[in-house]
Structure 1
Amino acid sequence: MQWESWSAFWDMGGAGAFVWGSYGITFAVIALELVLVFQRRKDTVKRLLRWRRAVGKDGSGRAAARMES
């Protein structure tokens, strides 16, 4: 498709608001999902590190038992 001018391109024959609005919403939702994924990853790493310290590096729980006695 060829456009007569930039304003015709942005207007897209009257459907510009729908088209560009759809792109904007899609971009916002993808950005939000990326933020949430990175937050969840950070929280998961923290929980795993806490669990590793509590259980011990070998996973047997002996380190935690030694601390209690």
Structure 2
Amino acid sequence: MTPAFTSWSDFFAMGGYAFYVWLAVLCTLVPLTGLVVQTLLYRRRLLAEIRQRQSRERRIRAAKTKKAAAKAGESV
């Protein structure tokens, strides 16, 4: 098995088609990178919303428990 390119400069020249090859690579990597970044940001925002909602629900439950305890104390 022989290598397709004998040197790094031949590799980067891509047999005279370097512009098209590297443009295609760029046009593939840029959207993929954007998709990864968007996914990570969306995940972070979603987890923050979930934490905020859980915290709110805990506060509501605690308030209901406190109110129920206060009513039970009044009626005794």
TM-score above 0.5:
yes
**How many residues align structurally?**
64
What is the RMSD computed on CA atoms of the aligned residues? 2.7
Q: 1:66 aligns with which of 64, 67, 71?
A: 64
TM-score (norm 1): 0.66
The match for 2:38 is 36
Residue correspondence of structure 1 range 1-69 to structure 2 within 5 A: 2-3=4-5, 6-56=8-58, 63=61, 66=64
Amino acid at match of 1:52: Q
In structure 2, runs of 5+ residues without a counterpart are: 68-76
TM-score (norm 2): 0.61
Contact 1:54 1:64 in 2 (8 A): no
Q: Which has the higher helix share?
A: 2
In structure 1, runs of 5+ residues without a counterpart are: 57-61
Inter-partner Cα distance in structure 1 for 2:35 and 2:21: 21
Residue 43 of structure 1 deviates from its aligned partner by 0.3
Give the greater-gyration-radius structure (CA): 2
